[in-house]
Amino acid sequence: MYNELDRTLFQSDGRFLEIFQLWVHPDYRRAGLATQLKSKLEEEAQYHNVNLIYTHTEAVNDHVIELNKKIGYQEVRRGPIWDDIIRVSLIKQLNVSN
């Protein structure tokens, strides 16, 4: 599936960071925890000179897509991956020194 994405989005050494299966306890949702966690992830990626974070989610998860777009992710693919479920692939590109 990664081969379907534009190669030029990725840095030359091919490294990138993925995040999946984010889960916040229902009692603590809408308090910015997922946003904070993803912000921390960006710091970690930059620390390791990785310029791209990748995630995907089922297309029915509008709130997850909204969350990601709000913090600068862009949709790069929409379609089935390993089964018939439509999944939306999103990436965030970061400024790094390499």
- One residue of 1, 4, 18, 31 binding ligand COA per CB under 6 A: 31
Nearest distance from residue 52's CB to ligand COA, in Å?
A: 18
Nearest distance from residue 11's CB to ligand COA, in Å?
A: 24
Nearest distance from residue 48's CB to ligand COA, in Å?
A: 23
Q: Please count the residues of this chain forming the interface with ligand COA, following the rule CB under 6 A.
A: 18
Rounded distance, CA 26 to CA 56, Å? 21
Binding to ligand COA by residue 47, rule CB under 6 A? no
